[in-house]
Amino acid sequence: MLQFLYMARGARVDVGGYIYHVLNRANARLQIFDCRKDYLQFESILEEAVEKFGIHLLAYCIMPNHWHLVIKTVEDRDLQKFMCWLSNTHTRRFHGAKRTIGHGHLYQGRYKSFLCEEDQHFLTLMRYVERNAKKANIVPLAEDWEWSSVWRRERGTQKQRALLTPPPVPLPTQYLVWLNEPQTESEEIALEHAIEKNVPFGTLNWVGTIINTFGMQQTQRGAGRPRINRG
């Protein structure tokens, strides 16, 4: 039986066997990763979550005040359970390590997520996530950012690389060269729109099928509450 989570700001699909991009930001967008120990703590919790829930981690990037994950779920409601445990566990351990228990929320609210098709769109999404630190001018090359899947895949130990599930689409032969080149304006606009509106990211036919299958028509509407038909 397919499971859906309906929130005040739209429908959230949580079905097994699909790729999701997930994003969460710190409360008020304040910096929460201040030092190496902070990043290592989150990565450790991420590793626990992947093992605990059997999630396939395809790509990720941890930035100073937010993080991106690209995952593939197995069972219905995996996304909700995975994200709830990950965020709550990180919040609890973060405050414990900083001795700030009782100082309020660590994250801004509910996480953002959208579905992605397993084709060239997946590669575009993976590139968007893995070049985040490069785009922000934190590092000269995307693979230099230690707190990302591209660093783990290219420079990590065998144990570190084992956390990542191989991508469902073959990477380009010159992936690192491609990764470090700017994305097109249209690609970035499409991805940012998907993040803000929970719109599936893929071909027109696939997006239409996903929207109709999972009742996501609200993602196609403008901002604000849907118009009520009073007859």
pLDDT grade for 155, boundaries at 50, 70 and 90: very high
SS3 185: helix
What integer is the mean pLDDT of 156-172? 96
pLDDT of amino acid 8: 36
**How is residue 167 written in tokens?**
């991508």
Q: How many helical (H) and strand (E) elements, i.e. helices and strands, does the chain have?
A: 9, 6
Find out whether 13 and 216 touch, Cβ atoms under 8 Å: yes
Q: Report the mean per-residue pLDDT for the chain.
A: 87
Pair 124, 191: CB distance under 8 Å: yes
Q: What would the mean pLDDT of 197-202 be, rounded to a whole number?
A: 93
Collapsing DSSP states into helix, strand and coil, what is residue 44? helix
Cα 115 to Cα 138: distance, rounded to the nearest angstrom: 28
Segment 109-135 shows an average pLDDT of 95
What digits encode the pLDDT tens for the residues 8-56?
Answer: 345 578 999 999 999 998 876 678 899 999 999 999 999 999 999 999 9
- Tell me the CATH number for domain 4-214: 3.30.70.1290
Average pLDDT over residues 200-216: 93
The model's confidence at residue 94, banded by pLDDT at 50, 70 and 90, is confident
Share of the chain above pLDDT 70, in %: 86
Question: What residue has token string 């700001």?
Answer: 9
Integer distance in angstroms from the first to the last C-alpha of the chain? 33
Domain chopping of the chain, boundaries:
4-214
Residue type, 65: N
**Site of tokens 């995307």:** 142
Q: What is the mean pLDDT of residues 192-202?
A: 93
Does the pLDDT value for residue 78 go beyond 70? Answer: yes
